[in-house]
Amino acid sequence: MFSFPHQTKVYLAVEPVDMRKSFNGLWTEASDVLKEDPFRGSLFVFANKRRDRIKILYWDGSGVWVFAKRLEKGCFSWPRGSDACKLSLTPQALGMLLEGIDLKDGCKKTWYER
């Protein structure tokens, strides 16, 4: 999948986001809601209410990337009901989340088994 340097900061938005948002809308979420500066090269991870779609916002120094993933079955393991609006993850934890690993239990979710 994707690999990012281990020093890359990853911020995961706890609350769902409207997946119709793209570059400017996600940029606003990162700066106004998560209170982080997107120009610093961090990854910002957003999910929809059903947790079956995610988008990642990333500034690479010359422009903005938006990565998207839609699951055909199941949903992503995602924190709910936290007091914080964001969680900080390592790039390795993000990779596991994208690959269907339940970060709480440390195993692949049943929908991911092929």
> Per-residue DSSP letters for 55-94?
EEEEE-SSSEEEEEEE-SSS------S-SSSEEEE-HHHH
**Is the pLDDT score of 113 beyond 60?**
no
| pLDDT recorded at residue 93 | 86
Q: Give the pTM.
A: 0.86
- The residue whose two tokens read 């986001």 is 17
Query: Within a 10 A sphere around the Cβ of 44, how many other Cβ atoms?
Result: 26
Beta strands in 9-52 (DSSP E): 10-13, 43-47
At 63-98, the pLDDT tens digits run 999 999 999 998 888 876 566 889 898 898 898 888
At 20-56, the pLDDT tens digits run 999 999 999 999 999 999 999 999 999 999 999 999 9
| pLDDT recorded at residue 100 | 79
Sorted by where each begins, the domain ranges of the chain are 10-112
